[in-house]
């Protein structure tokens, strides 16, 4: 059985494990004040062309989202997210557990937010009898594998500034987004467009780790207090620092994401060639082909993946996820199974 269930089925890229091994017995400061973490933060700031950004390393997406959002908001302020947004659905109420409502904007299949959607939430919350929309949460790629264009993100950014809303970008799959053929954003564009974002390591080759980047000066103060309080500060902070150092020392972060995308694209093209449609355009490392249920059950014999949603009585969309670790042979085996069934 080969798994296309997610992008965290394996451990870390070998180069990262090697770096952990090589540095293992060097004595370092704890709690993220080690040389590796400090260097990794500097490196990221260089890569983003943003000397003033504040960079912190945390261990997972839910943790990063909740520590950041809770740090940025006053008690009665709310986050605005797409209805399908990770913070709205898949974090077991982590944001609410910090006291903040998530305002869910109905959205299209692609899971993207728009200025109009955000405006609708502002209109619906005019006074102190309702929460105050204050922070806009989006993710790139979205939950459904879509990628924001530079124009789309600029429009949202300008809208947020005009409405004094903070803009926060969840980059759990930022690598896949930035290396997608549909993308025209650079990593260095982000600090100009958002107030804070995170660069996801866990889903792009790290054992664990997300790099939170706070771009807006007003939001920077005392974030280490917040990390410690929310259980997000590792005693051996080196563990995340070393990994990000490897990911950004050369081009590893982008190479790994490009591989994931390439594997997804290869899957998508063969599926397309076999005559199938997709729920949303296949442009990142999550793709959603619509396949006959009968074919799906055949494929499930040798492959693990999620059946995403029923499309009609005989077809469902599957979710196939590739990663830095996806083997081309597995992709080929999958498409072979698919073609074999099709031609029978």
Task: Tell me which residues in 69-88 interact with a second copy (CB under 8 A).
Answer: 70-71, 74-76, 78
Q: What is the largest CA-CA distance in the chain?
A: 64
Our CB check for a second copy shows the closer of 99 and 151 to be 99
Instruction: Please give the residues from 250 up to 279 whose contact with a second copy meets the rule CB under 8 A.
Output: none
Which residues are CB-contacts of 222 (< 8 A; sequence separation ≥ 6)?
A: 71
Q: Which residues does 209 contact at the CB level (< 8 Å), separation at least 6?
A: 57, 58, 59, 201, 202, 239, 240, 243, 244
Edge-to-edge strand order for the sheet containing 132-139?
Answer: 54-58, 210-214, 196-200, 166-170, 132-139, 77-82, 102-105
Footprint on residues 15-54 left by a second copy (CB under 8 A): 17, 20-21, 23-31
Q: Is 292 in the site for a second copy (CB under 8 A)?
A: no
CA dihedral 38, 41, 46, 49 (to 10 degrees): -140
Q: Which of 52, 186, 225, 300 binds a second copy (CB under 8 A)?
A: 225
Give the interface segment with a second copy, choosing from 108-116, 218-226, 244-252, 335-343 (CB under 8 A): 218-226
Minimal distance in Å, beta carbon 205 to a second copy? 11
Shortest spacing between CB 64 and a second copy, in angstroms: 8
Q: Binding to a second copy (CB under 8 A): which residues in 89-118?
A: 89-94, 96-102, 104
59 or 157: CB nearest a second copy: 59
The residue within the footprint of a second copy, chosen from 41, 156, 207, 318 (CB under 8 A), is: 207
Contact 164, 176 (CB under 8 A): no
Give the nearer residue to a second copy in terms of CB position, either 101 or 112.
101
Residue 50 Cβ, how far from a second copy at the closest point, in Å?
23
φ and ψ at 286, to 5 degrees? Answer: -115, 125
Choose between 64 and 280: whose C-beta lies nearer to a second copy. Answer: 64
Q: What is the DSSP string of 22-87?
A: HTTTS---STT-SHHHHHHHHHHHHHTT-TT-EEEEES-HHHHHHHHHHHHS-TTEEEEEETT-HH
Region for 145 from its dihedrals, namely left if φ exceeds 0, alpha if ψ lies in -120 to 50, beta otherwise = left
Residue closer to a second copy by CB (options 78, 177) is 78
Which CB, 72 or 159, lies closer to a second copy?
A: 72
Q: State in angstroms the smallest separation of the CB of 30 from a second copy.
A: 5
Distance CA 328, CA 318 (A): 19
Residues 319-338 that bind a second copy (CB under 8 A): 325
Query: What's the closest the beta carbon of residue 128 comes to a second copy, in angstroms?
Result: 4
Q: Are 341 and 295 in contact (CB under 8 A)?
A: yes
For a second copy, the binding residue among 188, 229, 297, 302 (CB under 8 A) is 229
Q: Is 309 in the site for a second copy (CB under 8 A)?
A: no
Which region, left, alpha or beta, applies to residue 282 given φ > 0 means left and ψ of -120 to 50 means alpha?
beta
Residue 230, interface with a second copy (CB under 8 A)? yes
Query: Of the ranges 13-21, 163-171, 271-279, 332-340, which one interacts with a second copy (CB under 8 A)?
Result: 13-21
């Amino acid at each position: 059985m080969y798994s296309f269930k997610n992008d965290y089925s394996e451990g870390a890229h070998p180069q990262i494990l090697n770096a952990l091994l090589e540095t293992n017995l060097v004595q370092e400061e704890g709690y993220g004040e080690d040389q590796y973490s400090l260097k990794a933060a500097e490196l990221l700031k260089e890569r983003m062309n943003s000397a003033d950004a504040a960079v912190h390393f945390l261990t997972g997406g839910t943790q990063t989202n909740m520590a950041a959002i809770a740090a940025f908001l006053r008690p009665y302020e709310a986050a605005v997210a797409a209805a399908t947004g990770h913070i709205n659905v898949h974090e077991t109420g982590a944001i609410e557990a910090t006291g903040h409502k998530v305002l869910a904007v109905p959205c299209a299949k692609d899971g993207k937010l728009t200025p109009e959607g955000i405006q609708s939430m502002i209109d619906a919350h005019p006074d102190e009898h309702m929460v105050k929309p204050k922070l806009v949460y989006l993710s790139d790629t979205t939950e459904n594998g879509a990628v924001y264009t530079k124009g789309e993100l600029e429009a949202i950014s300008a809208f947020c500034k005009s409405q004094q809303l903070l803009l926060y970008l969840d980059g759990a799959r930022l690598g896949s987004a930035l290396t997608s053929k549909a993308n025209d954003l650079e990593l260095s564009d982000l600090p100009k467009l958002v107030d804070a974002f995170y660069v996801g390591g866990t889903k792009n080759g790290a054992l664990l780790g997300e790099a939170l980047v706070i771009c807006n000066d007003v939001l920077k103060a005392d974030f280490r207090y917040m990390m410690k309080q929310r259980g997000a500060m590792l005693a051996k902070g080196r563990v995340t620092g070393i990994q990000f150092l490897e990911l950004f020392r050369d081009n590893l972060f982008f190479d790994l994401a490009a591989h994931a995308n390439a594997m997804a694209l290869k899957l998508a093209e063969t599926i397309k060639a076999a005559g199938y449609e997709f729920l949303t355009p296949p442009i990142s490392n999550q793709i959603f082909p619509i396949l006959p249920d009968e074919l799906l059950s055949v494929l499930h014999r040798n492959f693990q993946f999620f059946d995403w949603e029923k499309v009609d009585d005989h077809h469902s969309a599957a979710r196939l996820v590739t990663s830095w670790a996806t083997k081309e042979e597995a992709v080929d085996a999958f498409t072979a199974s698919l073609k074999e069934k099709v031609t029978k």
